[in-house]
Amino acid sequence: MFMLALSLALTALQSQSVPLLQPSAKWAIDYADDQCFLSRKYGDTAAGVTLGFGLMPGVGAAEMFLIEPSQTDKGGRSLSGTIEVGGAKARTTLSGVSVMLKEGGRITRFHVAKTLLDQMGASDEVTITVEDRGYRLHLNSMPAAYAAADACKTDLMKSWGLDPKRITDVQVPPEPIGSPASWVSPNDYPKEARKNGETGRVKVRLDVDTDGKVTRCQVVTSSRSQSLDAATCERAGARARFRPARDAAGKAVPAIRIMTFMWLMTD
């Protein structure tokens, strides 16, 4: 307990002393088959970092990613970090997965709740700490960037054959009951994929009914491993449980939830 308190105290001290990085580029919106990417570079070209978000329709959250140019350790691994929004002293702990990029540097992806996204949209700055590294970033014009990303999400829904109005009318998206990490675990690793050394990220679309049960699972982005894709839908479809989505009147309505599962071999 003492070591934990000491660690938190050091984190707070570091965040106060981290210099504020200014953006070196405008917010960029990139279209993909499975989501819309919003990103911005900070600092100079050689030593700067990139903050980004993977935004998906029908999800009250996002995947936040941080690209660091100088990390040289190899392989993928799980890690934790913290985020402080604005001048608030409250820190939120984030769990993430970090992997090396072929072009150099390291990308760490975190799952971020909608409430935290809303706080960032209304703030001028954010401090993100990854292990012993802290980055304090200026968030000017972020609300306008989010608004511009809405057009991308509308186009994406249409490409999936969905009615955008049906998704945007959902006021409260379906929220997982329990930890999604328990739906697809390392113990579920398909023997074929393990034997072949296959790893990857699988993004699935889950159709959730008014009772919070999954009625359909569809792979949106493949891991390029048939067995990993199949195992993801099989396990998540059978184990996932949600609090149902609600419309403006508070009535339970059918909705979709996009979720990403990472398959990594740790032994």
Q: What domains, with CATH codes, occur in the chain? A: 2-147 (2.60.40), 169-263 (3.30.2420.10)
Sign of dihedral through CA atoms 57, 60, 65, 66? positive
Please state the pTM of the whole predicted model. Answer: 0.67
- pLDDT given at position 6: 34
How far from 214 is each of 10, 91, 203, 236, CA to CA, in Å?
Answer: 43, 33, 15, 9
- And the tokens for 155? 């186009």
- pLDDT given at position 45: 64
Amino acid at 47: A
- pLDDT given at position 87: 66
How far from 258 is each of 41, 60, 80, 94, 212, CA to CA, in Å?
Answer: 26, 10, 23, 19, 14
Q: Is 194 helix (H, G, I), strand (E, B) or coil?
A: helix
- And the tokens for 113? 């709740």
- And the tokens for 227? 């067995």
- pLDDT given at position 13: 41
* CA geometry: angle 227, 79, 59, nearest 5 deg: 65
Amino acid at 222: S
> SS3 breakdown of the chain: % helix, strand, coil, rounded to 5?
25, 40, 35
- pLDDT given at position 140: 84
Task: Give dist(CA 201, CA 119) in Å, integer.
Answer: 28
| Residues of the chain under the 70 pLDDT cut | 1-16, 45-46, 58-61, 70-75, 87-89, 266-267
